[in-house]
Amino acid sequence: MATLFAGVSLSRRIPTYQESFWADSTVERANPIRAEKHRQIEAGVRIHTGELIRLQAAYFHRTVDDAIRISSLNQNFVFPGVIYQNIDAMETNGVEIRLAARVWHLDFEGQATYLSQKSKPESDLDLLPALSASGGVFFRNKLFDSHLELKVGFRGKYGSSQRGEEFNPEILSYVTDANQEIGQCGTLDFFLIARVGDAYVHLMWENLTNVRCFSSSYYPVLDRALRFGLSWEFSD
C-alpha cells in the first residue's frame, strides 16, 4: 500500500528578549532585529506491507527570510564577543529516507538525511552534516512460553563533517563557528531490554568501540559507558 503526503507551512518567529535587547560590551547589533519569516513545503510517499516492510521517502524545503544569526566577532579571544544580525535569507533543502523491515525475529531500522543549506548574501552553510544516518538491527521475540520478552541488538549513527556552531558560555548560546571544522564521526551502541513479568531490565553499552570525536566544537562525544536500569510496571 502506498500513501502520498504533502504539506505547506507559513510562520513567523519573534526575536527573543536576548536577541532584541541584551546590551553588553561584547554584544553588538548591526540593526534592530526583525522577526523571521518561515516558509516550508514537504512532499513524499509512504509504502508499507504490514509489518514486513515500511518505507518513507520525503523531500523538504524551508526558506527563512530575515534569518537571525549570531556570529563571533573575534576568534582570537576566549570570549570573542558576538554580533546579532538579520541576513537576507537562509534556504534549506533535504531528502529523508526511513526504512523498517522485519525478517523472522529480526528487526531492521534505518534512516538517512541529505541536507543542503545556503545563506544569502553569503554562500553555502555547513552548520549541520550534509549526510547523517542512524539505524540498527535487533532480535525481538518472546521466549520460555512468553515469560521472557526480549529485545537485543546494535544501533549506530553517522554524521559527515561540518563547520557547526560552538557554545559561547558568556551568552549561553551557540554561535556560528568560523574557526573549527568538525570531522565525520560514527558511533555504535549495544542495548538489551528484557521484560520478565512486570519487571523491565535495561542494559546499554554506549559508544561500544570508544570512538573519539566531537558533537560540537570543543564538546566531545562521551567515552564508552555502561548503563543499567531496573523498573516495574505497577499499573496498566
pLDDT tens across 201-231, in order? Answer: 999 999 988 888 877 777 777 788 889 999 8
Q: What is the mean pLDDT of the chain?
A: 86
C-alpha 224: how far from its chain's center?
21
Residue 9 has pLDDT above 90, yes or no: yes
Write out pLDDT tens, residues 10-59: 999 999 988 888 877 778 887 889 999 999 999 999 998 877 899 999 99
List the one residue out of 82, 96, 90 whose CA is nearest residue 45.
96
The pLDDT value recorded for residue 125 is 76
**Residue 161 clears pLDDT 70, i.e. is over it:** yes
Interval 83-138: pLDDT, tens = 888 888 999 999 999 999 998 899 999 999 999 988 876 667 778 889 999 999 99
pLDDT of residue 219: 72
Query: Residue 232: its pLDDT value, please?
Result: 84
Predicted confidence at residue 77, as pLDDT, reads 56
- Residue 23 half-sphere exposure toward CB, CA atoms < 13 A: 2
Whole-number pLDDT of residue 215: 73
Task: Give the separation between CA 105 and CA 113, rounded to whole angstroms.
Answer: 27
pLDDT tier for residue 188 given thresholds of 50, 70 and 90: very high
The stretches of the chain forming alpha helices (DSSP H) are 17-21
Q: How many CB atoms lie within 10 A of CB 72?
A: 20
Q: Is 147 helix (H, G, I), strand (E, B) or coil?
A: coil
Question: Which of these, 107, 101, 106, 128, lies nearest to 117 by C-alpha position?
Answer: 128
Average pLDDT over residues 193-198: 88
| CB-based burial label for 197 (10 Å; 0-12, 13-18, 19+) | exposed
User: Among 66-75, 130-139, 155-164, which range has the highest average pLDDT?
Assistant: 130-139
pTM (predicted TM-score): 0.80
Domains of the chain: 2-232 (2.40.170.20)
